[in-house]
A = this chain, B = another copy of it.
Amino acid sequence: MDTESSDTTGNGLVKEEKIVKGEDTEEPMSLVDDVSTEYFASYEDLNVHRLMLQDTARTNAYQTAISDATALFKDKIVMDVGAGTGILSLFCAKAGAKKVYAVEASGLAKTLPEVFSKNGFADVVTVIHSRVEDIESLPSNDKNTVDIIVSEWMGFYLLHESMLESVLYARDKFLISGGLMFPNSAQIYAAPCQIPDLWKNHGDFWTSQSHYGFDLSPFGNIAKNLQTPVIETIASDGLLSDPQLLFDLNLQTVPSNSLEVFKDRRFFTMDQTGDMHAVCLWFTCTFPVVPGKEPVELSTAPWSEETHWKQTLIMLPDKLDFEEGDITGWEISLEKASLDKGSRSYRIHYQCLGDDDEHPVPCECGAVKCEIIKHYMTQSNEANNVDVDE
């Protein structure tokens, strides 16, 4: 057997096709546990950052959002949380920022000054080799504030081991009132989906065939009931219903202590007949809109340009077969794994809702009853608004 446990926990091995980001790189929360890796850049770090730079949908979105916003960046003080190779700091410097603090906890920070110098921004960008949580005061900054925070903090399905908490910490500590976040909002979407090829590798792998002449089906029951998210690119036509918006985070205002639990209860109307194998999750991010420019969205939807985030699939224990027009529902919760304080991974729990379960109010499932309720709620809201206006 191979026993590679990770590319990024110091075991010193790289599999070319992977993109992984380790606890010793830009996950400052865990650096205290592994001081030995704090002070050098590993091949793994570099490999991850190569793959991130090669993710053009990701990097182009930031480049466009920032370079379109020179009016916002001109002469401003910016903080780049988790600067990595410094590419976002460079975008900000080029967009006219007066000062950029490139905050980077990993050993990559040691190389960053040379990068900024080579690109003519040695005077603009100041590298801070630290977790953002450990910064007491910003160099040459009496007010200890910044005007803009940029960060590429997103994890799989947005939240998985993301740097969001660190970014919100930086916002609450350093961002001036009225300051800007790049990105300034993030959304998680979902739809039921059909993924026959991946399904074959799920519980069915263990139960539907013999293995070298033997019955290994007992592992199938375990595999089916572990609701571990799977990261894979799926085709748009695998979606069995119109997607719905699950969570919409306003990054300017979302409280940093509101990330412990996300709960969702909703219903979908199937717009094709098929087997539902999984819930497909993805996210989008948007950036402050500059007058006269197109809004920039970084989308990881199945129909968007592929990114290294791909999509996230929560596999069902057993597939559910639906006819077009059927309604299905779920309760999904994402709870921060609590065993490990400082953990930034979530446990996902999925539960199927059936005909007897009550729909939320309002409900986007499209069923007649839910549409009628929505209609009256809209009317009522409008009436209330009229009252207020008068």
Q: Which residues of B contact A337 (CB under 8 A)?
A: 10, 12
Given the interface pairs A13-B229, A50-B201, A118-B217, the reply to whether A5 lies near B27 with Cβ below 8 Å is: yes
Chain B residues with CB under 8 Å of A84's CB are 1
Chain A 207-225 near chain B by CB (<8 Å), digits 1 or 0: 0000111111111001100
Decide if A111 touches B1 in the complex (CB within 8 Å).
no
- Give 19 A-B pairs besides A10-B337, A10-B345, A12-B345 with Cβ atoms closer than 8 angstroms: A1-B163, A4-B160, A5-B6, A5-B161, A6-B6, A6-B22, A13-B161, A14-B229, A16-B201, A16-B230, A17-B17, A49-B219, A85-B211, A87-B211, A111-B222, A115-B215, A115-B218, A118-B215, A118-B217
Q: How far is the CA of A339 from the CA of B10 in the complex (A)?
A: 11
Which chain B residues lie closer than 8 Å to A87 at the CB level? 211-212, 214, 216
Chain B residues contacting A347 (CB-CB under 8 Å) are 12
A171 at the binding interface (Cβ < 8 Å): no
Whether the pair A155, B2 counts as a contact (CB closer than 8 A) is: yes
Chain B: which residue is nearest A44 at the CB level? Answer: B228
Tell me if A184 counts as interface (CB < 8 A to partner B).
no
Q: Are A231 and B161 in contact (CB under 8 A)?
A: no
Please name all residues of chain B whose beta carbon is closer than 8 Å to the beta carbon of A22 when the two chains form the complex.
5-6
Q: Is the CB–CB distance between A46 and B222 below 8 Å?
A: yes
- Shortest 7 CB-CB contacts between residues of A and residues of B: A6-B6, A43-B228, A3-B161, A43-B226, A114-B218, A3-B21, A11-B345
- Which residues of chain B are within 8 angstroms of A212 by Cβ–Cβ distance? 53, 59-60, 63, 87, 90-91
CB-defined contacts of A48 to chain B, threshold 8 Å? 1
Report which A residues bind B (CB closer than 8 A).
Answer: 1-23, 26-27, 36, 41-44, 46-50, 52-53, 59-60, 63, 82, 84-87, 90-91, 94, 108, 111, 114-115, 118-119, 152-156, 160-163, 198, 201, 205-206, 211-219, 222-223, 226, 228-232, 308-309, 337, 339-340, 344-347
By CB atoms of chain B within 10 A, which of A3, A63, A84, A153 has the most?
Answer: A3
